Structure formats: structure tokens, C-alpha cells
Amino acid sequence: MPARSHEVGTGPPDGPVVHDAVLADPAGTLLGLDFDGTLSHVVDDPTQAFAHPDSVRAVATLGRHLGQVAIITGRPVRQVLELGGFEGLEGLEGLVVCGQYGAERWDASTDELVVPPRPEAIEELAGLLPSWLAARGAATARIEDKGLAIAIHTRGLAPSVLHSLTGPIGDLAAERDLHVEPGRQVLELRGSAVDKGTTLTGLVHDLGTRHVVYAGDDLGDLPAFDAVDALRPRGVTGFLVCSASAEQDALVERSDLVLDGPDAVAGWLGAFADAVVARAG
């Protein structure tokens, strides 16, 4: 295992791009990627959070060589496909997109999208939240209805708004048996308890993966980091990458490689793809 580097890099890393076992056995490797903050920049309007084009090109190259590429995200699958342009892309014929932390799943090989029914509690919240937020002085918070979940975004508002809402949102969720997922200037309420860790572990077991590379940026990625660390003693090689930001540092000390946001992630993915292609000869 390479020594863990906590120096934030702005471009391709000077040290190992990835564990050498991955380069020696790409067919046995699963590459798992978060979307927002990793493949795309976090922006005020999430509908404009397009994937970094260099990352998309690199991932398509990696898809020709690795055993599996999977995007594991809090977004609905359809949003990821629209913002990433992954559908029909040469090299990603085997791509899997696990949306809403894994509650949704789309397989490029079959074009099949599996989406569970919308929880009644989420339907109720969709009608309740505008007046509920207004009564708490947060009428300008943006509500994002994801179908299986509802996110409350406070980006652009005073930091005190998110702080003041955290406790009441927790109570609101508890009353309806919902799960709260905190993130960068956002609180999400969802009915499914599935997380990125269970989703990633399921993919590893289904595929018989020997090596896992996972990159993320936020609290929702912690379960995936936990899953990779739990797999290491079982003989699965793990390599964890943090797309760092000033807003969240929870992944930094857990990572094998720390990069300065999506631009640096794009550089790393390009270097990763180049290394795999070079090794393949």
C-alpha cells in the first residue's frame, strides 16, 4: 500500500497515481466515482453542474480497460446521465450509475433503469416544506425534489441558516421515519437507508472485484471509504481519493491521495488512464 499523502495537489499527482496492483490487474479493478464535487464542480444551481469534460474522456478510456466503472451519487440517475453525457459513450458500454446512494440503478449494457416507488413521507414533505421553511425564517432556501428524497440547499445564504435548520430537520425526519443526509450546504431527507458503502460493497461482491479505487468529496462518501477499509483485510486492494474543498475535510485523513477539487480530479483521472494504457502496451 502506498503511503497516504495529505498534501493537496492541483494537478496529476507527483507520486503514485494509483496502487500498482491496479495497473497490474485492471480487469480486476472497480473504479467508483462520486459525481458532485468530484466529477463536477459544486455550483449554486445543481442543474448546471456538468461533469468535467476531461474527466468524462478519461473515464471513457478507463472503461475500456477496467473491470467496472461505477458512478455512485446522491443524485437521481437521469440527472447524472444528462449532466455527464455518459449514455452511448464509447468505452462506457458497461457503466453502472447508482443514483440516490444506490436506491436507483442504471446499467449501460441493458439501458435498464430501476427506480423504487416514491415514499409517501417524501410526497407529504413536498407539499409541507415551503411553508415549514418560511415559518423558520428560511423561505429563500432552495428545495430540490429528487423523487425518492428532498434536499434543502442553503448555498448562498448565511451559514447560520444551515445551522438553525439542522435540529428541526432532524426532528421532522424522525417523525416520518426518514433519514437525514448532511452535505456541503445541504440537508437531504430520504426514505431509503441504503448508503454508498452498502452499494459499493454489493458491486464488489457481485463482480468478484480484487481492487477498488474510489473518489469522493463529502460526508455521503464516508460509508464508501468505510467499505473500502473494511475490504482491505479481506484481500481487496483499496485506493481512496479525496476531492478536497474548503467546505469539507472529513475525507482528507482517510485518503490515499488528496486532490484540489474536480479540476485536479480530472488531471488525476487522465494520468490514471494514461498509466493503464501504457501498462497495457
Q: What is the pTM of this model?
A: 0.88
Confidence of residue 121 (pLDDT cuts 50, 70, 90): very high
Enumerate the domain spans of the chain. 20-116+194-280, 120-190
Under 8 Å between Cβ of 104 and 118 = no
Domain spanning 20-116+194-280, CATH class: alpha beta
pLDDT in tens, 168-181: 999 999 999 998 98
Report the interhelical angle of 261-280 vs 53-63 (nearest 10°).
Answer: 30
pLDDT in tens, 107-120: 999 999 999 999 99
Under 8 Å between Cβ of 101 and 72 = yes
CATH fold, domain 120-190, is Alpha-Beta Plaits (3.30.70)
pLDDT above 80: residue 16:
no
Residue type (1 letter), 55: S
Helix (H) or strand (E) holding 240, with range, is strand 237-243
CA–CA gap between residue 26 and residue 31 (Å, rounded):
10
Helices (H) and strands (E) in the chain, counts: 8, 12
